[in-house]
């Protein structure tokens, strides 16, 4: 399931509330942000994956699909 992959991307199980998920996203985003890792395409890809995962999970939690 796509949602499981998104949870793994952020390092959460899926039972957490929105506040914990946001903290997990911020942790990954700060670590992999392109400005902190210039020229590292893998890090940029992880940042984009984390952003997409966070957006999708938040939509799912709000009931918007």
**pTM of the shown model:** 0.87
Residues in the chain with pLDDT < 70?
1, 64-65
Domains within the chain, CATH numbers bracketed: 2-62 (1.10.287.110)
Q: What is the pLDDT of residue 31?
A: 95
The span from the CA of 38 to the CA of 2, in Å, is: 29
Contact 10, 21 (CB under 8 A): yes
- Please count the other Cβ atoms lying within 10 Å of the Cβ belonging to residue 7: 19
The span from the CA of 16 to the CA of 12, in Å, is: 7
Q: What is the pLDDT of residue 1?
A: 57
């Amino acid at each position: 399931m796509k949602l499981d992959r998104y949870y793994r991307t952020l390092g959460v199980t899926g039972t957490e509330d929105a506040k914990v998920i946001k903290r997990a996203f911020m942790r990954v985003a700060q670590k992999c942000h392109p400005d902190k890792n210039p020229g590292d395409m893998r890090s940029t890809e992880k940042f984009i994956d984390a952003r997409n995962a966070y957006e999708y999970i938040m939509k799912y939690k709000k009931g918007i699909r």
